[in-house]
Amino acid sequence: MKKHKIVGIVFSIVAVVFCIVFIQQIDFSIQLESYLKVGYYTQFTPVLISAILLFGGVLLIKRKPRANFILALFGHEVLEEILFNWIGLTTSNLPIYAMVVFFGIALVTLWIAYSNAFSLKTLTFKEVVYSFVLGAIISLLPAFF
């Protein structure tokens, strides 16, 4: 089995496990007023982060050129989420164990994306800026409401 498939499978398995754990922690409400509060939507952030990793893992398994962009998006999102939580700008819904695991994976995904380790499509400057800005928006959105 090729290295890109092994790494993609590992990313996908970790993402599915965390998706299941995070979905079980969501407090789904039938109250209409809860849909109008930002706190209700911020509890979905860990699931979104896991879904981005799952998507990146699947693209890596299939060796799609967009895999590097999605992996860079995941890496920026996780590092910004942890950094903004650390400096007190936002409060993260990620548990400590998830932050530790995602931090390690984020470093690996950024290395894969920027070094083009699996000879996929090289990231353009526009894609780097876009993934950085999109990650910041996802991390900072709860701070503005």
More confident residue, 135 or 70: 70
26 versus 71: the higher-pLDDT residue is 71
Which one, of 115, 99, 87, lies nearest residue 50 by Cα?
99
| Structural domain count of the chain | 1
* Least confident segment among 39-53, 63-77, 102-116: 39-53
| pLDDT given for residue 39 in this prediction | 67
pLDDT tens digit sequence for 11-40: 999 999 999 999 998 777 777 666 667 666
Q: Are 98 and 85 in contact (CB under 8 A)?
A: no
Task: Give the number of C-alpha atoms closer than 13 A to the C-alpha of residue 33, restricted to the C-beta side.
Answer: 0
Task: Specify the higher pLDDT residue, 34 or 76.
Answer: 76
Are the beta carbons of 105 and 73 closer than 8 angstroms? no
- Return the pLDDT at 89: 84
DSSP class of 68: H
What does the pLDDT look like over 78-135, one tens digit per residue? 999 999 889 988 888 889 999 999 999 999 999 999 998 888 888 889 988 998 888 8
Please tell me the pTM assigned to this model. 0.89
Structural domain containing residue 119: 3-144
Q: Which residues contact 98 (CB under 8 A, 6 or more apart)?
A: 18, 22, 46
